[in-house]
Amino acid sequence: MSLEKTQAIVLLRSEMPQGKTLVLMYTEKFGRQSYVIRGLYAKKSLIKNSFLEPLSLLEIVVETKNHYLKEINCVFPFTEIPFSAARRAVALFLAEILSKVLC
């Protein structure tokens, strides 16, 4: 099990069965990757749900073999996008376009 630290931009997020969340990110080291987060909605979770907003810039620690996220730190917290419907819609649109374009 090897752990890697890199920066990433959140593109898409979807819920999976058994309390897992699948997050599509564009990382500095690995390019476009999908990662699994276990127990995101648990009371004692170290990973905050608000960090996974579209286009969030994160610093992540990843288990490269199984594609599990171990740790997430927010590099640049948003101050206006989550609170404005128009800006949030634009962010969702840009994240969707980037997820299709980036390889």
The total number of structural domains in the chain stands at: 1
Q: Quick check: 97 pLDDT over 80?
A: yes
28 and 60 Cβ atoms separated by less than 8 Å: no
The pLDDT of 59-83, averaged and rounded, is 86
Segments forming the whole domain that contains residue 40: 3-101
Q: How far apart are CA 71 and CA 16, in angstroms?
A: 19
Round to whole Å and give the CA distance between 42 and 86. Answer: 30
Cα–Cα nearest to 70, from 37, 27, 23, 24 = 37
Residue 74 pLDDT greater than 80, yes or no? yes
Helix extents (H) in the chain: 85-101
**The model's pTM:** 0.84
Provide the pLDDT for residue 29.
Answer: 92
Q: Domain holding 13: CATH number?
A: 2.40.50.140
pLDDT in tens, 8-61: 999 999 988 888 889 999 999 999 999 988 877 777 777 777 788 889 999 999
Instruction: Say what the pLDDT of residue 76 is.
Output: 83
